[in-house]
Chain A
């Protein structure tokens, strides 16, 4: 008994400590970013001013004056929202079909979808840029970014939804069939209410992935459809290292998604760790 209580006491201290350490390690870049955004560009690179400095709002004021922050932000909101919506619009029926009417090839299709995530994005950079610019004429449009973000996230979204749907007892769906519910009614009245938690966390994750996407949004836009990723990128390159200003822009870019994640973390954790129906 003594040993058990000792080890659990040890665990009682160690586990939260480890959690805090890991949490802080992950949080440190955000913390550093937040601090730096309130420093002058000169102070930002000096180690002695890491914690002690005279805070200034200059970076933010400067940003508001010189860059069209809201245009980038609105582009981010538009592309992310529509991409998430479109992904779910395609993903829910797809996952539904695979979970409740599987064929011999369902497993293969799931694996194939996952395999598309293994393709290095850089490998198709040139054809993507060339085709969208010269042939399709969709370069730097919201449409293109929405489609690209959707396609990037579709495999992972279908996989997640498939897993959640799989946990819904097949008999409940069958009971619906006996009750004469239509396919759409089956999704709307039975499936979605039961998989609500899983659906919410999938949507949230998809939203976060879309918002944070930088590789394609930076390379397939110039001005019209440029998102916040492009704003950060644009601030880095031409004028050298202005850490203070860059940090302020970055804060403004990641801020909304961090806040969203913070408010939804309970939903996220629940969705990612528990099944849809318990």
Chain B
């Protein structure tokens, strides 16, 4: 078992730098999720850890060993690919045994490990089949099995669920969480889906354009996002952002009441962030914001309402239900003062 240290890691393709000095510490046994929009560098970072991409600058250490120049198979890592990347011409058994054979593991040891992994993943019945004869979910299990049998110190998952349908995705997500519990190994998981990130991670790393935007526990990112990007990326639907001028220290976004007070407010505009689930319908006299109801999306246990303000800007409210309101109604909302996030318009950084 081992942790990971990433120091000033840079990735450049020729002149073009795509990762700009990333620093990160991952503890032994931690489940870390790299999340961010496409092109943020999350997969590149994972592939550098795996050894599939060269490290242009900086150092990556697994345990106490700097692995920059170590071959992928010697790093003590195993990877699960988005496309499964199973060997199509080999049986499930041989797919799982291939890596061990390369490492000259004794036959009975290979058999023991493959059988054990197959049992854990419930694919014992398919060991003699080729990947062609398996469903997507089964293929993904085999891909995970191929990683397990190598008993790596660090598991790497590159968007492992994005080729599965919704129902299977939820189930497999749960299985990966259980696997982590059971093996206790360090796991690094790349996804663009913030739900996967929130549910699986001990620690989330939010990346954008080759920079780390924030590192933290899921609920910390949700409750205290460092900047506007993280605020809008974590949470679904995304956080509402309103522009506001600060009058002294009182911040208001157009309603009868102010949203709260802001000590040491900057001179310019302030971005006020309120999550859709924190807006509560109320009387006009209590409201911090009002809008005309434009559209309601009913999702069974809750609704997502889209509202339009006087200045034609939109905001979203997530709530259990509106008892009697219908399209076109003017509605008013309040918010708890400690649920409000403030960001500097210029630097996009959190003001606290």
Which residues of A pack against B, CB within 8 Å?
A: 169, 171-172, 174-182, 185, 189-190, 193-194, 277
Q: Is the CB of A172 within 8 A of B85?
A: yes
Q: Is the CB of B81 within 8 A of A175?
A: yes
Q: Is the CB of B85 within 8 A of A175?
A: yes
Question: In this assembly, does B102 line the interface, its C-beta being within 8 Å of a C-beta of chain A?
Answer: yes
Question: In this assembly, does B71 line the interface, its C-beta being within 8 Å of a C-beta of chain A?
Answer: yes
Q: Which residue of A lies closest to B99 (CB)?
A: A179
Q: Is the CB of B87 within 8 A of A172?
A: yes
Question: In this assembly, does B88 line the interface, its C-beta being within 8 Å of a C-beta of chain A?
Answer: yes
B104 CB to nearest A CB, Å: 10
- The distance in angstroms between the C-alpha atoms of A189 and B95, with both chains bound, is 12
- Mind listing 28 A-B residue pairs with CB under 8 Å? A169-B83, A169-B85, A171-B81, A171-B83, A174-B52, A175-B79, A175-B81, A175-B86, A175-B87, A178-B50, A178-B51, A178-B52, A178-B77, A178-B78, A178-B79, A179-B73, A179-B102, A179-B150, A180-B72, A180-B99, A181-B98, A181-B102, A182-B102, A185-B102, A190-B87, A193-B89, A194-B88, A194-B89
Write out, one digit per residue, whether chain B residues 318-352 have a CB within 8 A of any chain A CB (1) or not (0): 00000000000000000000000000000000000
| Residues of chain B with a CB closer than 8 A to A193's CB | 89
Count chain B residues whose beta carbon lies closer than 8 angstroms to a beta carbon of A: 24
Q: Is the CB of A177 within 8 A of B72?
A: yes
| Residues of chain B with a CB closer than 8 A to A277's CB | 88
Q: Which residue of B lies closest to A180 (CB)?
A: B73
Q: A177-B52, A178-B72, A189-B98 are in contact. List 10 more A-B contacts (CB 8 A).
A: A171-B85, A172-B87, A174-B79, A178-B50, A178-B77, A179-B73, A179-B98, A179-B99, A180-B72, A194-B88
Q: Which residue of A lies closest to B74 (CB)?
A: A180
A276 CB to nearest B CB, Å: 11
Question: In this assembly, does B299 line the interface, its C-beta being within 8 Å of a C-beta of chain A?
Answer: no
- The distance in angstroms between the C-alpha atoms of A182 and B74, with both chains bound, is 12
Q: Which residue of B lies closest to A170 (CB)?
A: B85
A-B pairs, top 7 by smallest CB distance, nearest first, are: A180-B73, A179-B99, A171-B85, A175-B85, A180-B102, A193-B89, A171-B81
Question: In this assembly, does B103 line the interface, its C-beta being within 8 Å of a C-beta of chain A?
Answer: yes
- The distance in angstroms between the C-alpha atoms of A177 and B50, with both chains bound, is 10
Q: Is the interface of A mostly helix, strand, loop or mixed?
A: helix
Within 8 A of A (CB), among B53-105: 71-74, 77-79, 81-83, 85-89, 98-99, 102-103
- The distance in angstroms between the C-alpha atoms of A56 and B99, with both chains bound, is 65
| Residues of chain A with a CB closer than 8 A to B50's CB | 178
- The distance in angstroms between the C-alpha atoms of A175 and B150, with both chains bound, is 13
- The distance in angstroms between the C-alpha atoms of A36 and B71, with both chains bound, is 66
| Residues of chain A with a CB closer than 8 A to B73's CB | 177-181
- The distance in angstroms between the C-alpha atoms of A176 and B73, with both chains bound, is 9
| Residues of chain B with a CB closer than 8 A to A172's CB | 85-88
Q: Which residue of A lies closest to B71 (CB)?
A: A180
- The distance in angstroms between the C-alpha atoms of A171 and B103, with both chains bound, is 20
Q: Is the CB of A174 within 8 A of B85?
A: yes
- The distance in angstroms between the C-alpha atoms of A171 and B156, with both chains bound, is 14
| Residues of chain A with a CB closer than 8 A to B51's CB | 177-178
| Residues of chain B with a CB closer than 8 A to A178's CB | 50-52, 72-73, 77-79, 99
B117 CB to nearest A CB, Å: 14
| Residues of chain B with a CB closer than 8 A to A169's CB | 83, 85
Q: Which residue of B lies closest to A277 (CB)?
A: B88
B156 CB to nearest A CB, Å: 9
| Residues of chain B with a CB closer than 8 A to A174's CB | 52, 79, 81, 85
B188 CB to nearest A CB, Å: 14
A25 CB to nearest B CB, Å: 40
Q: Which residue of A lies closest to B52 (CB)?
A: A174
Within 8 A of A (CB), among B137-163: 146, 150
- The distance in angstroms between the C-alpha atoms of A219 and B89, with both chains bound, is 46
B229 CB to nearest A CB, Å: 30
A176 CB to nearest B CB, Å: 8
Max chain A C-beta neighbours (<10 A), residue from B71, B77, B98: B98
